[in-house]
A and B are shown apart, each in its own frame.
Chain A
Amino acid sequence: MKVIVSARNNDLDGEVDPRFGRGVCFLLIDLESDDYETIDNSSGAGATQGAGVLAAQKVAATGAKAVLTGHCGPKAYNLLDEAGITVYTGIEGTVREAVARFRAGELESAGNADVDSHW
């Protein structure tokens, strides 16, 4: 299983980016092999509108089954949900810590967007 974490930079020990749509990048982490790859989000981060819409399409194309992030708006949430991806919000700390908590089953899925559009 693969999970996506919104990240401040290309580093497992870097901070989780609190923004989903306008996050700096995404780390796509393979929970079986512990390998990860970085997915650029400059198009979303710089979009005049619909940043979450762009980011959600990008994430859906990776085949990830879960998204760990700080906050997620309604448009991005609906698209991720549509693609069968479970969203976890309120995540803080490093990417490595977030993945460890996910693995340990400590995280609770958001079930909904946690912020409004243009938050």
Chain B
Amino acid sequence: MAVKIAVASGKGGTGKTTVATNLAAVAAGAGRPVHLCDCDVEEPNAHLFVRPEFDERRDVTVALPVVDVGLCEHCGACAEICAFNAIAPMPERTVIFEDLCHACGGCRLVCPNGAISDGSKRIGRLETGAARGFRFTHGRLDIGQVRVPPLIEAVQALEKPGEFVIRDAPPGVTCPTVAALRGADFALLVTEPTPFGLHDLAAAVELVRALALPCGVVVNRDGAGDDRVARYCADEGIQLLPGIPFSRDVARAVSRGELIVDVLPEMREIFVSLLDAVTERLDHPDTVREVRT
């Protein structure tokens, strides 16, 4: 069965990559055809933990408008359609602001003179290869680029039918996170038991509900704060999945770039039960009450 799990969180630094990489290792060890996709293309870091050997690298581009000054009559139709104010017809020439353009192609479609064609602009790079028993893909956004979703979609385009896909999503609840969640079967929301953790978790829950995605919560650094996240999940009918205890050993392993399931047997047990809980949930989606607002 093909599965796509997105590991997300409202707050940054909660442990998404720790959960995604360790879950990938445990799932691969259990014989699943794992494909770990680091969709945090602005700051990919999963490769530091799984140390892949890339066998394919390619540029990812988007279509940016190019104006033929000989054909342009400065009618302004392009500026009128552009929701991002990225194109401005001036008396002598039509100016395009690359950093504002979302590459939607609207200006090309409405130009009555056919003066606009698609140019190509590199936004980043895609790297894919093998890592310790599973496939690994990530995107790296070029410095200064702001068009994040097209690169995330390019990473996802390498997901294959039949794979057990684990996506490491970017933090927050904005367009890049939405892009990383789109098409997933399940959102694994990682948080910490603090006021900030809860605040941003609630935002993430709102997002996955808007996307009609089932979700479960993993509490990282469990024991460091209080039980407010657990109480919230109970109130909202959200499944609390096995969490990661607050531990100096975990922090040490992560700081060394190690997978905690490799060096801490008790962590391997937790991730095995996390994998079981998630696959159980995917196999029987109706076993947990979902509260929809």
Residues of A within 8 A of B (CB): 47-51, 53-54, 56-57, 60, 75, 78-79, 82-84, 117
Contacts and interface: CB of A to CB of B under 8 A. Distances in A.
Interface in B84-133: 84-86, 88-93, 95, 97, 99-100
Looking at chain B's contact residues, is the secondary structure mostly helix, strand, loop, or mixed?
A: loop
Interface residues of B, number: 14
Contacts of B93: 82
Contact of A57 (B84, B88, B92, B100): B88
Contacts of B89: 57
A78 B95 contact: yes
A65 to B, nearest CB: 13
26 contacts: A49-B84, A49-B85, A50-B84, A50-B85, A50-B86, A50-B97, A50-B100, A51-B85, A53-B85, A53-B86, A53-B88, A54-B85, A57-B79, A57-B88, A57-B89, A57-B90, A60-B90, A60-B91, A75-B100, A78-B95, A79-B95, A82-B92, A82-B95, A83-B90, A83-B91, A117-B99
Contacts of A47: 85
A53 B92 CA distance: 16
A54 B83 CA distance: 11
Interface string B47-80: 0000000000000000000000000000000010
B196 to A, nearest CB: 26
Contacts of B88: 53, 56-57, 79
Contacts of A83: 90-91
A94 B97 CA distance: 33
B97 A53 contact: yes
Interface string B238-267: 000000000000000000000000000000
Contacts of B90: 57, 60, 79, 82-83
A39 B94 CA distance: 23
A82 B97 CA distance: 14
Nearest to B99: A117
Nearest to A43: B85
B153 to A, nearest CB: 21
A7 to B, nearest CB: 21
A54 B95 CA distance: 12
Which 3 pairs from chain A and chain B are nearest by CB? Answer: A50-B85, A53-B85, A82-B90
Given A49-B85, A75-B100, A117-B99, 7 more contacts: A49-B100, A50-B100, A51-B85, A56-B88, A57-B79, A57-B89, A82-B91
A51 B89 CA distance: 15
B146 to A, nearest CB: 10
A67 B217 CA distance: 55
B165 to A, nearest CB: 32
Contacts of A117: 99
Contacts of B92: 82
A117 B86 CA distance: 13
Nearest to B76: A57
A105 to B, nearest CB: 27
